[in-house]
Amino acid sequence: MSYSILRIDASSRYQGSVSRDLGDDFIARKPDATVVTRDLAQGIPHINETWVGATFTPADSRTDAQNATLAFSDELVAELADADEVVVTTSIYNFAAPAALKAWIDQVARVGVTFKYTETGPVGLLQDKPVTVIVASGGTAKGSEVDFLSDYIRFMFGFMGIKNVSFVFATGGTSEAITAAKDELAQIAA
């Protein structure tokens, strides 16, 4: 059985993207893995009233139009559920996740599919798996008071049942920061 990685690229940059380049290096350390890549910079629809209405309609009662509305979300959820590991490459824009990454989270965080509410609170429905979030930032350091990305991403994956989330930051884009991030990623990949 093959090992699968879901790679989610959220940086709007291609040329000179530190997070994408670090993601390439990290995944190259796992040559036997099958990689499914979801490039969010290509565009991802935001949820809307029609989408929300479809998600709150029981699956066996949905119209064809509602099923069509959720088809892309279903595809994204299947990619996430089927992966043995997840690698997210992202930059920080305005101290937080890029809008495309937030839109992806909105598409996969679905009540009754990836989480449920119980009498004792929410329960994630996805199997735990390693998630490595590779972050490039001009000046936001990991865990700093202005790092609004890390806690949000960790919480959302955990909300869906995925608790094994690691963050590697390359802050400032310097060669030293990139080398340190590569070293940290090598340890995670080992």
Beta-strand pair 121-124/131-137: unpaired
pLDDT at 156 (0 to 100): 98
pLDDT at 1 (0 to 100): 67
Average pLDDT over every residue of 70-95: 97
Angle between helices 99-108 and 64-82 in degrees, nearest 10: 100
Q: Which helix (H) or strand (E) holds 139?
A: none
Kindly report the backbone phi and psi dihedral angles of residue 167, in degrees, each rounded to the nearest multiple of 5, phi listed first.
-120, 135
pLDDT at 190 (0 to 100): 86
Average pLDDT over every residue of 65-94: 97
| All structural domains of the chain | 4-189 (3.40.50.360)
Transcribe 67-121 into DSSP letters.
HHHHHHHHHHHHHHHH-SEEEEEEE-BTTB--HHHHHHHHHH--BTTTEEEETTE
Q: Which of 57, 27, 44, 186 is nearest to 108 (CA)?
A: 44
Rounded Cα distance between 128 and 179, Å, is 29
115-164 tens-digit pLDDT: 999 999 999 999 999 999 999 999 999 999 999 999 999 999 999 999 99
Q: Which of 44, 26, 48 is nearest to 35 (CA)?
A: 26
Looking at every residue in the chain, the average pLDDT score rounds to 96
Average pLDDT over every residue of 27-31: 95
pTM metric for this prediction: 0.96
